[in-house]
Amino acid sequence: MTAKGRGDDRGLTVRVQKKGKLKASSRAWLERQLNDPYVRRAKADGYRSRAAYKLIEIDDRYELLKAGMRIVDLGAAPGGWTQVAVERCGDASGREIRVVGIDYLEMDPVPGATILQLDLLDDAAPTRLIQELGGAPDIVLSDMAAPTTGHRRTDHLRTMHLCEVAADFAVSVLKPGGHFLAKTFQGGTENELLANLKRHFTSVHHVKPPASREDSVELYLLAKSFKGRRQEAADEG
């Protein structure tokens, strides 16, 4: 497999030659990656994934991340969101850890953050996260998505389940006034999740940052200003 480029870097188009046994779908994905300006920016800026810019763009618009906040990053691998959280909230020297990430996948350390290689669905995970963070988080981030099967409906349901797990975790641990940001997919079946979040947060809406590909079904749910467990219990009572 070889790749050819046309033009200079500003208008570079890379085509993967049809050699070997590379599937058409794999070739298309590789070409998209090679031609994606966010992928090139991530390499230049030292981010581990293009997903870092999704969080950057959302935060630039909504001003969620502030210095000194405690942050939990669910589904942290490969670490792009964790890097942004440390840059905007944490202490890169590592003297005081205010960002804790968790993923069942192994990932390289992120200076200024604690990384737990643990499945969020493990019964011990929530307690471990809060212990490592040293207190209730100001923000719970989740870029989790289930491994794709190729069946759109199945993939949607599996990722929605992870979003619901993340939302339940956020409601159980956030500080009053805290925020929750999580990946979801377009495709329905989320009315119950939205209703649940609206009971617990002052505002809930969908966000699609520019770094999210136009042809992608992903969206982000942003729930702002957690009411607190006493208040939400009163609302439900």
pLDDT per residue rounded down to tens, the chain (237 residues): 334 343 344 444 544 445 556 565 444 444 555 557 888 888 999 999 999 999 999 999 999 999 999 999 999 999 999 999 999 997 766 678 899 999 999 999 999 999 999 999 999 999 999 999 999 999 999 999 887 777 777 877 888 889 999 999 999 999 999 999 999 887 665 788 899 999 999 999 999 999 988 878 888 999 999 999 765 555 555
- CATH says 52-236 is which class? alpha beta
Would the annotation count 91 as a binding residue?
A: no
Residue 183: active-site member: yes
- How far is the C-alpha of 2 from the C-alpha of 153, rounded, in Å? 34
Q: Please, which residues have CB within 8 angstroms of residue 103's CB and are 6 or more apart in sequence?
A: 75, 76, 77, 115, 116, 117, 118
- How far is the C-alpha of 56 from the C-alpha of 8, rounded, in Å? 27
From 175, 183, 208, 227, the catalytic residue: 183
Would the annotation count 235 as a binding residue?
A: no
Q: What is the DSSP letter of 11?
A: G
Note the pTM of the prediction, 2 decimals.
0.82
Where do the CATH 3.40.50.150 domains begin and end in the chain?
Answer: 52-236
Handedness of CA 99, 100, 102, 107 (dihedral sign): positive
Would the annotation count 119 as a binding residue?
A: yes
